[in-house]
Amino acid sequence: MADKSLQKKNDRLTRTTRGLLIGAVAVGALAIPVAPAMAQPFTAPSGGGSSIQATPVASSTGQAAANAAQSKVGSPYVWGATGPNSFDCSGLVQWAYKQAGKSVPRTSYDQAASGTPVAKSNLQPGDVVAFYGADHVGIYIGNGSVVHAPTEGENVKVSPVDAMPFSGASRY
């Protein structure tokens, strides 16, 4: 009789444990975080090597535009220029977004007024940042920095966002 009673307890315990395990797996599946947007995929090396190499990829249109703009650091500022060798501020923004496959307006005022408004505290790479009441724009590249074509006699460069009076930002 004791064996039968013990067997019933084991059966109940097994069913309970199995139910808890299944519930935990279901809940755990909901709690698994999605890979961050900046995650970089890996590829197995060719030639049978044993190491894995990261392959950087742009995670978004904004990141692609930021990368394109950064590639033009050192290019001369020329009023009205839209690249690919010289730029004014809004020309750099328009050119960079074109490289990322997105069309944005031509002037700094239209670039600042279009897109989705973004608070300074929520800037992400690729956001168009307006300064001096939208007389000037640049592209946020992260870490508190913006790439921009400053003015006549200067080249495209990276500056701190706080180096100029912030007027607003837009995300495309």
**Residues taking part in catalysis:** 89, 136, 148
Find all residues with CB under 8 Å of 81, minimum gap 6, and list them.
87, 88, 91
- Under 8 Å between Cβ of 149 and 87: yes
Cα distance between residue 130 and residue 30, in whole Å? 40
Token digits for 64?
A: 């692609």
Neighbours of 24 (CB within 10 A): 10
Q: Name 155's bridge partners.
A: 76
